[in-house]
A and B are shown apart, each in its own frame.
Chain A
Amino acid sequence: MQFPSFKDNPLAAYGATAAIALALLALPFLAGTQGNGWVRIIDFALLYVMLALGLNIVVGYAGLLDLGYVAFYAVGAYLYALLSSPQLAENFEFIRQMFPDGLHNSIWLVVPLGAGLAALFGAMLGAPTLRLRGDYLAIVTLGFGEIVRIFLNNLNAPINITNGPQGITNIDPIEIGGISLGKTQTFFGIEVPSVYLYYYLFLILAILIIIVTIRLQDSRLGRAWMAIREDEIAAKAMGINTRNVKLLAFAMGASFGGVAGAMFASFQGFVSPESFTLMESVVIVSMVVLGGMGHAPGVILGAILLYAIPEVLRYVAKPAQLAIFGQELVAPEALRMLLFGLSMVVIMLYRPAGLWPARQHGNSVVPAEKASNEATPAATGAGQP
């Protein structure tokens, strides 16, 4: 994300960064004037940014089509839910004796655990699928996502772990340094509601994930992922241990999903298997593809657009239809899917590389020297005096 004009002009770069930072800080207060529901939408958009960036490592960098990504989101969410709610204490005598009030673990323990467990699940999915590519990999990962969801749905009998389709309630809000994000807090006389607090937490996490993915992209590991995406056999011939590097892509992508899942659980205060359907995976893949596979800014844009537009429609569709037709012809939910599909078709037709794809050097420019080079290729030959 380097703009040439800013490279030459550090002052402008700092200025722009400061302006963006201020805008991001003020955003919930601006959106909040229209009601906290809008801030909530922004919070969720940030969660999807995290998810899409995590999936981008697997799909965008390493080129492994993963249609079960939501499973890692679920793993993170359920781990947080189980470790920070009365659920386990209510159902297991020995836990009740140890923790009569239920489990309430610090996020400093739960979030790393969630990331780690999701990474483990990522490697578990990756290991048996190492030889698969493209459609075949998509089918297996799709199945994996469904298996995890069905497990969560049915792990309420014979012993009740996940509480089945009813889901887990009473999940603790996140608490950082004694400040609970679950209720309105006052800082310097300014009242900051819970959704604003979560916004700042999600923003910090999203920025961290952005930094990490951009750093990985320009690293030895990132290049190895892309080499596998481009040509696996040639990558092997370059000495890349494709098995390890692919497993690492699965694990790292999954760990971001796990963190996002833990955030989701605490933010909602409630998780159920319904939140982790195949449709969620499809939406996250769409965000990556639509934004621009392998390009972090594009993926962020894709996540925000695909999450925000349907949400905005929910508010706008009914009044707009009433105003134009005098009656509601299409339910907002149906309209949402309709537009979702339509936008995918249009994008794939007219911008197959995504809305904001990675830099495309040499697509249009044929350097002047190249023409002369082709006329006398020997001139470029090595070994010339």
Chain B
Amino acid sequence: MSAIPTGMSASMATTSPDTPLLLVQGAEKRFGGLQALSDVGISIERGQIYGLIGPNGAGKTTFFNVITGLYTPDAGRFELNGKPYSPTAVHEVAKAGIARTFQNIRLFAEMTVLENVMVGRHIRTHAGAWAAMLRLSAQRREEAEIRERAMQLLDYVGIARYAPFQSRTLSYGDQRRLEIARALATEPSLLALDEPAAGMNATEKLALRELLESISRDGKTILLIEHDVKLVMGLCDRVTVLDYGKVIAQGLPDDVKRDKAVIEAYLGASNE
């Protein structure tokens, strides 16, 4: 498998290797009277597959939406590549280098598979309205590049043959792949996946796992929210467990699996 196709401006980290790629400290989010997140912190190292798990309603997706800028946090410190970033505007977060997928797939349904990935190139390209209207040579070159890169990415996730079809006609598993390809097109330093295995059958899950492993092998850092504990435990290098908006365990998958608080959160306390 070839490396992930990247653009000319490959977003390789320039800071020292021991600063974490993503550092979040003391993240707080409150919806009215509900404290959805209290003092949540994670630290993701470069190249890791980082798992975020927890029972239903634990605050996983809220945390995810906070770091990707969809919800404005009430407090917290956020650093990407050693540089603070403010998760207040979604498009700024994407520009900073976090690309995300959605729990309920959000593709551009009426656009073709290829166009979906081409949209992902938006922040790494520049042609404006005048360049497009006049078809300047720089714009034509950029268009060709966008198209080529998008094709490479479709090939990478294994759905290149569906490029000219409308994305809504893809099968469920392939729509997930397309969402990942679209996210990769933004050349993220962190690929954040919100329950990518939700609703998948066993074979689809296996294929997804292989894809994530190969993306990780090619040097991308992945943050994974998952319901499927088995998938997370087998795949992730580090795991954080959330319950009622609080971190209840953090560490290696094997340690977390044996953690008393985690077992209680998932199965209930034995003496209740």
Contact = CB atoms under 8 A, between A and B. Distances in A.
Interface of A: 212, 215-216, 218-224, 226-227, 230-231, 233-242, 248, 252, 360-363, 365, 367, 369-370, 373-374, 376-378, 380-385
Interface string B111-138: 1100100111111010111011101000
B119 A361 contact: no
A233 B101 CA distance: 11
B165 A226 contact: no
B182 A238 contact: yes
Interface string B211-240: 101110100000000000000000000000
A237 B123 contact: no
Contacts of B142: 220
25 contacts: A215-B135, A218-B143, A220-B127, A223-B122, A227-B108, A227-B119, A235-B108, A236-B89, A238-B186, A240-B122, A248-B129, A363-B169, A367-B165, A373-B171, A377-B203, A377-B204, A378-B206, A381-B158, A381-B206, A381-B207, A382-B211, A382-B215, A383-B211, A383-B214, A384-B1
Q: Which of A218, A220, A227, A233 has the most CB of B within 10 A?
A: A220
A221 to B, nearest CB: 6
B131 to A, nearest CB: 8
Interface residues of B, number: 63
A231 B171 contact: no
A265 B112 CA distance: 41
B156 A223 contact: no
A238 B132 contact: no
A362 B146 contact: no
Contacts of A235: 108, 119
A360 B186 contact: no
Interface string B185-203: 0100000000000000001
B225 to A, nearest CB: 15
A240 B120 CA distance: 9
Contacts of A361: 112, 164-166, 169
Contacts, number: 155
A373 B121 CA distance: 27
Contact of B94 (A238, A363, A384): A238
A368 to B, nearest CB: 10
Contacts of A227: 108, 111, 119, 122
Nearest to A211: B133
A182 B249 CA distance: 82
B3 to A, nearest CB: 11
Given A226-B115, A361-B165, A363-B169, 9 more contacts: A216-B133, A231-B109, A237-B102, A239-B123, A252-B129, A373-B171, A377-B173, A380-B174, A383-B217
A220 B133 contact: no
Nearest to B209: A381
B254 interface: no
A167 to B, nearest CB: 34
Contact of A233 (B90, B133, B166): B90
Closest 9 CB pairs of A and B: A383-B214, A362-B165, A239-B123, A239-B94, A219-B132, A230-B108, A362-B169, A381-B207, A236-B90
A360 B164 CA distance: 10
A223 B111 contact: yes
Interface string B126-162: 0111011101000100110010000000001111011
B158 A382 contact: yes
A226 to B, nearest CB: 6
Given A216-B132, A239-B122, A231 B90 contact: no
A363 B166 contact: yes
Contact of B111 (A226, A237, A367, A370): A226
Q: Is the interface of A mostly helix, strand, loop or mixed?
A: helix
Nearest to A230: B108
Contact of A381 (B102, B107, B161, B211): B211
Given A219-B143, A224-B119, A360 B166 contact: yes
A220 to B, nearest CB: 5
Nearest to A360: B166
A216 B171 contact: no
A218 B68 CA distance: 29
A241 B91 contact: yes
Contacts of B186: 238-239
B211 A237 contact: no
A204 to B, nearest CB: 16
B176 to A, nearest CB: 11
B210 A378 contact: yes
B157 A382 contact: yes
B89 to A, nearest CB: 8
Contacts of B107: 230-231, 234
Contacts of A252: 129
A241 B122 CA distance: 10
B122 A224 contact: yes
A238 B91 CA distance: 7
B91 A236 contact: yes
A218 B127 CA distance: 12
B91 A234 contact: no
Nearest to B109: A230
